Chains A and B, each alone.
Chain A
């Protein structure tokens, strides 16, 4: 860990004045005077402790007033400030009743201690957990290197890696909460140093590795997430979430699925089906969504949708088990709705 200075940001504007880079930009190509945001600090300091990220300044945005509110009303939907902790989301009664899949996703993320520390903004902006990407001894594409170690057909240790959209990078996105957020059609509010604010759909917040190997999201230096907004679900909306892990106590997802469905009786009118730990960014399965549209929610239809979701799967040398694992998990998650 290198020595760095610490700046306690007092406002969003203040923070944006102080910051000059992002963790992703630094990992791809380090600069000398990097100043990056720290919210909960869990991910940022992981990289600093590994000696891979060497910031000169840490801009602490954790204590900026006003970014830690959760509010719900029928018109505005659910608004969560970027500094809201996962623990706060997990215990919010309105979220449990109206956004069950999000409630479940948050409850199955990390550990209670980590949930107390983790912020929503930090969670969706955290980097992936590919052990090559996280190793100081492996310069992979995402760190400006010249190869993907995980993809190697003989030596790649890729059991936890991507089976979909894995042409450029085979990592899977680390946020299992984003899986549920995306299924609720969440949007992200971003403010820049000029004070401009934009609201982007979560689907557009994440950046595929093919588009930009250095990035997992659209955040640029001098941009900050201030809020995440979820539209109000109709009264016929049901949701479910399942996360598969090697260890139940706590673990990173091997496969997680969020389903948010508009139902009429036992018929699916429309579905949002999002897969976590399948691809380098949370993966909306248009195939599965389509397959369920106007279908009754039966085991057979759910299975057909699950298989449709996996039609484009291209497993690596050690992760073909993820295909049946996803088929089973998608099917089960859909069936939770019935």
Chain B
């Protein structure tokens, strides 16, 4: 392979910016300088679809209406554990307006266990059993209510600690090989080992397994912190629920899906219905949120397709809020035991972690890699167990596992700092080797006013103020199977095509920015057509991979197309294309200022109607830490929280968060701030409000709505200030990474540390509520 050497900006401007030489493939575009020297990149560019969104013109999946379309509703179990002896659909099928009923069979393809029963075993309240397609949603709902399911009920277990007991009812009496639900990219949880409802442990991640010798580590320690932390189950609650509209035409099955992974949904539907991938088209133009729970076609996707097949008509199937809470994902809970040891000077000598979590009938309820990698420590071991319970399956949730893990570790580190008589921030300066977090701590502390922090519990009065900090790390992942097509149309017009979807983060806009920067055009000149699997396959919106995966091939494709265009201009001007440049919508000659032509004029030189180039994500310059796409370095963050705690009523208010983050080369400051705001708000919500309430006696979720399942509204949202630290590492043609998950990891820990600082009593469990505060203060027993 032909290569060349180039010097890339390397480091953090204002701190340690330098250069690094990289050997890169010949066809890669030339290096971009730091953002200050670019026109469109790193600026506050307005979302290209902002107007459509705020005027309600944007068409979401639930808005799709097709001629002859039927409405579908799922039938779901209302008992937590049972075998189904029979299902009587006679009343439902004779209801006027009902067109088809489809019952889920006990076949592996339909999500069953393939046993001898006609219908799958019921393992949680809300499990899908079937669906009805009718002329209206009202009729479909009524029909579902007329279906009689006869259950043979079995003992069940909801509460995780009860499920861990020897005599607990068994949720699965066989090893489970199903794919994990709650976990993270590249992490596996083994459902085949373990006893009773407890599976695992998982002891390693892609950063390796146990290190050193824990016993020796703790022997060397002068100070030990040993605690158990608890986090709750948190359901996703995207504004737009899960769902699809399936239009199964004569030639192609078109699936309009609210999904964060169009390509995965296509592959799933093709596989379930035995169709070539070319005959399934998944479209997601606008997306009303997913947070990790919308990577698959679920059971509703195949259900809608089965109903479409039975009726020969398009079928609309969107879930309602209750179904969403019960069956479409949650962040698993955790009970984490953590022991850390340090020498007098603070050096960590040992970290031991043991966690249990339940993703209901799913797997993947770990606590991530935070304890393993945030701070160097020679001796480390983790055991992460999955506990099966009769509740809806977990799903990946914005930094799966790691948010739970950070809540534990970052409180333990705070406690260690106190035992060592060190300021929590200074202590982190001492043990944290990350350059980026060092800068974040400095800049964050200054903006936040960390120096105002008083000793824990010293705030006077009924309402006590407290300040706290929490840190996090997130790996730089990329999806190598990420491709983009660019078309430059003859006579003007630039179009981008990829299956990558915009989950709401602004992917469309950054794609347009990258192309505009490369072609010397404006963002409005670029038409971004994404979220359609008839276009080259892009990444799923998970693992915060999208920006790092899709922007380099976008730039590369634009660069290749530009070079092809410049060749035509060079031929006309009888010069070499390397002498030409594009800028402000013009093609010019570096040495001859008289030679100028508009971009539009240049496109008229094309022989065919378009220049079309497809590029795919190339390997990182300098290679990967893991060949599947784990890049070197981390996405570090430091968040500061300021809280008020009313010691009489127990109410906690988060007054302010300062969030310092890095994501390589920032592409769009406004969108980054939005992402960070969103992550922080969800973190506040996790710390204080959201909590799935299950009745252990009946197996039902009691707050499966949007009223009693408490998400924060405007008054609960603190003042949020963001600091974005530019950091260059010269690893791709854009050197940019995502921020979605990092933004959510440290918040709850920072709040818990601030609450401790306010009242001088530590809370080891979230959500922190008036009840838990008053208990901690011993106002109640």
Q: A6 in the interface, Cβ–Cβ < 8 Å?
A: no
Contact B697 A152 (CB under 8 A): yes
Does A113 sit at the interface, judged by CB under 8 A?
A: no
**Which of B53-61, B212-220, B768-776 touches A?**
B768-776
Interface residues of B in 728-781 (CB under 8 A from A): 769-771, 774-775, 779-781
Say whether, besides A1-B138, A157-B702, A321-B770, A244 and B780 are in contact (CB < 8 Å): no
- Per-residue CB proximity of A3-42 to B under 8 Å, as 1/0? 1000000000000000000000000000000000000000
Report if B145 contacts A (CB, 8 A): yes
Given A249-B716, A321-B774, A325-B649, decide whether A157 and B689 contact each other with a Cβ distance below 8 A: no
Find out whether the CB atom of A138 lies under 8 angstroms from the CB atom of B698: yes
Interface status of B1 (Cβ within 8 A of chain A)? no
Select one of A149, A155, A324 contacting B774, CB under 8 A: A324
Which stretch, A64-72, A129-137, A226-234, A277-285, touches the partner chain B? Answer: A129-137
**Chain B's nearest CB lies how many Å from the CB of A283?**
19
Cβ of A3: which chain B residues have Cβ within 8 Å of it?
Answer: 142
For A147, give the chain B residue with the smallest CB separation. Answer: B697
Cα A254 to Cα B771 in complex, Å, equals 11
Q: When A1-B141, A51-B145, A247-B689 are in contact, do A155 and B714 touch as well, CB less than 8 Å?
A: no
The interface bits of chain B over 697-714 (1 if a CB of A lies within 8 angstroms of the residue's CB, else 0) are: 110101100001010111
Please name the residue on chain B nearest to A250 by beta carbon: B713
Closest B residue by C-beta to A328: B648
Q: Does A154 lie at the interface of the complex (its beta carbon under 8 Å from any beta carbon of B)?
A: yes
Interface of B is mostly: loop
**B715 and A249 form a contact (CB under 8 A):** yes
Among the listed A155, A244, A319, which residue makes an inter-chain contact with B697, where contact means beta carbons less than 8 Å apart? A155
Q: Is the CB of A159 within 8 A of B771?
A: yes
Residues of B contacting A129 with CB < 8 Å? Answer: 708
Out of A131, A149, A156, which one reaches B708, CB within 8 Å? A131
- Binary B-proximity of A314-328 (CB < 8 A = 1, otherwise 0): 000011110111011
Residue pairs across A and B with CB atoms within 8 Å: the count is 92
**B695 within 8 A of partner (CB):** yes
Q: Per-position contact with B for A102-136: 1 when CB-CB < 8 Å, else 0?
A: 00000000000000000000000000010110010
Given contacts A244-B651, A324-B650, A324-B780, contact A318 B771 (CB under 8 A): yes
Within the assembled complex, what's the spacing in Å between the Cα atoms of A3 and B136? 13
Interface size for B (C-beta < 8 A) is 36
A157 contacts which of B648, B695, B779, B781 (Cβ < 8 Å)? B695
- For B700, the chain A residues whose CB sits under 8 A away are 135, 137-138
Complex-state Cα separation, A132 to B646, whole angstroms: 30
Which of chain A's residues have a CB closer than 8 A to the CB of B586?
A: none
CB-defined contacts of A211 to chain B, threshold 8 Å: none
With A131-B702, A137-B700, A157-B702 known to touch, is A321 a contact of B771 (CB < 8 Å)?
Answer: yes
Q: Verify A324–B78 contact, CB threshold 8 A.
A: no
User: Complex formed: what's the CA distance from A328 to B770 in Å?
Assistant: 12
- In the complex, what residues of A have CB within 8 A of residue B715's CB? 247-249
Closest beta carbon of chain A to B771's beta carbon, Å:
4
* Chain B positions within 8 Å of A249 at CB level: 712-716
Residues of B within 8 A of A155 (CB): 695-698
User: Cβ of B141: which chain A residues have Cβ within 8 Å of it?
Assistant: 1
Instruction: Provide the residues of chain B in CB contact with A2, threshold 8 Å.
Output: 142
- B696 and A154 within 8 A (CB): yes
Q: Does A329 contact B (CB under 8 A)?
A: yes
Q: In the bound complex, what is the Cα–Cα distance between A154 and B769 (angstroms)?
A: 20
Contact at A325–B710, with CB atoms within 8 Å? no
C-beta contact mask, B623-649 vs A, less than 8 Å → 1, else 0? 000000000000000000000001011
How far apart are A118's CB and chain B's nearest CB, in angstroms? 15
B693 at the interface (CB under 8 A from A): yes
Cβ–Cβ contact A247 & B703, under 8 A: no
Given the complex of chains A and B, what is the CA–CA distance between A319 and B781 in angstroms? Answer: 11
Residues of B within 8 A of A157 (CB): 693-695, 702
**Per-position binary interface string of chain B over residues 676-700, scored 1 when its CB falls under 8 Å from any chain A CB and 0 otherwise:** 0000000000000100011111101
Q: In the complex, A238→B574 CA distance in Å? A: 92
A306 to chain B minimum Cβ distance, whole angstroms, is 10
Residue numbers in B under 8 Å from A324 (CB-CB): 648-650, 774, 779-780
| Residue of B142, B693, B770 contacting most chain A CB atoms (<10 Å) | B770
A132: chain B residues within 8 A (beta carbon): 695, 702
A321 touching B698 by the CB < 8 A rule?
no
| Contact residues in A for B78 (Cβ distance below 8 Å) | 137
- Mask, B35-55, CB within 8 Å of A = 1, is 000000000000000000000
B644 to chain A, nearest CB (A): 12
Q: Are B650 and A320 in contact (CB under 8 A)?
A: no
What 0/1 readout, one digit per residue, does chain A (219-252) give for beta carbons within 8 Å of chain B?
Answer: 0000000000000000000000000101111110
Taking a contact as CB atoms under 8 Å apart, the answer to whether A247 and B695 are in contact is: no
- Name the distance in Å between A247's Cβ and chain B's nearest Cβ: 5
Nearest CB in chain A to that of B773: its residue: A321
Residue from B125, B696, B697 whose CB has the most chain A CB atoms within 10 Å: B697
Cα–Cα, bound, A164→B140 (Å): 44
8 Å CB contacts to B: which residues of A303-338? 318-321, 323-325, 327-329
Of the candidates A156, A159, A328, the one whose C-beta lies within 8 Å of that of B649 is A328
Distance A318 CA – B702 CA, assembled complex (angstroms): 15
Within 8 A of A (CB), among B566-621: none
Q: Nearest chain-B residue to A242 (Cβ)?
A: B649
Given the complex, which residues of A lie within 8 Å of B713, measured CB to CB? 247, 249-250
Is there an interface contact between B649 and A329, defined as CB atoms closer than 8 Å? yes
- Which of B138, B697, B698, B770 lies in contact with A325, CB distance below 8 A? B770
CB closest chain-A residue, reference B79: A137
Contact check, A247 vs B708: say whether CB atoms are below 8 A apart.
Answer: no
Question: Using an 8 Å CB-CB cutoff, how does the interface string of A144-158 with B read, 1 for contact, 0 for none?
Answer: 000001001011110
Contact partner of A244 (CB less than 8 A), chosen from B125, B649, B712, is B649
Min distance, Cβ B637 to any Cβ of chain A, angstroms: 27
Instruction: Among A3, A129, A137, A138, find the residue whose CB has the most chain B CB atoms closer than 10 A.
Output: A137
Chain B residues with CB under 8 Å of A246's CB are 689, 710, 769-770
Q: Which residue of A lies closest to B713 (CB)?
A: A249
CA distance A3 to B697 in the complex (A): 33
| Shortest distance between the CB of B709 and any CB in chain A (Å) | 11
Complex CA distance for A247 and B648, rounded to whole angstroms: 17
| Bound Cα distance A1, B139 (Å) | 10
Which of A51, A254, A323, A329 touches B780 (beta carbons < 8 Å)? Answer: A323
In the bound complex, CA of A325 to CA of B646 (Å): 10
In the bound complex, do residue B697 and residue A149 qualify as a contact, i.e. CB atoms below 8 Å apart?
A: yes
User: Which A residues are in CB contact (< 8 Å) with B646?
Assistant: 328
What's the least CB distance linking A310 to chain B, in Å? Answer: 12
B335 vs chain A, min Cβ distance (A): 19
Query: What CA separation (Å) do A135 and B649 show in the bound complex?
Result: 30
Expressed in whole angstroms, the Cα–Cα distance for A321 and B769 within the complex equals 10
In the bound complex, residues from chain B placing their C-beta under 8 Å from that of A250 are 713
Q: Whose C-beta in chain B lies nearest to the C-beta of A320?
A: B780
**Complex interface: chain A residues within 8 A of B693 (CB):** 131, 157
Quote the shortest CB–CB distance from B768 to chain A (angstroms). Answer: 11
Which residues of the other chain, B, contact A325 by a CB distance below 8 angstroms? 649-650, 770, 774
Hey, which chain B residues are within 8 Å of A131, CB to CB? 693, 702-703, 708
Which A residues are CB-close (under 8 A) to B698? 137-138, 149, 155
Q: In the complex, A318 Cα to B775 Cα: how many Å?
A: 11
Give B716's nearest chain A residue, CB to CB.
A247
Q: Considering the complex of A and B, which 6 residue pairs feature the smallest CB-CB distances, nearest first?
A: A249-B713, A155-B697, A328-B648, A321-B771, A248-B715, A249-B715
Give 21 A-B contacts (CB < 8 Å), ordered by A residue: A51-B145, A129-B708, A131-B702, A132-B695, A137-B78, A137-B700, A149-B698, A152-B697, A155-B697, A157-B694, A244-B649, A247-B689, A247-B712, A250-B713, A319-B771, A320-B780, A320-B781, A324-B649, A324-B779, A328-B648, A328-B649
A residues apposed to B, CB below 8 Å: 1-3, 51, 129, 131-132, 135, 137-138, 149, 152, 154-157, 159, 244, 246-251, 254, 318-321, 323-325, 327-329
A1-B142, A131-B708, A248-B716 given; name 8 further pairs at CB < 8 Å: A137-B125, A138-B698, A149-B697, A247-B715, A319-B771, A320-B771, A320-B780, A324-B650
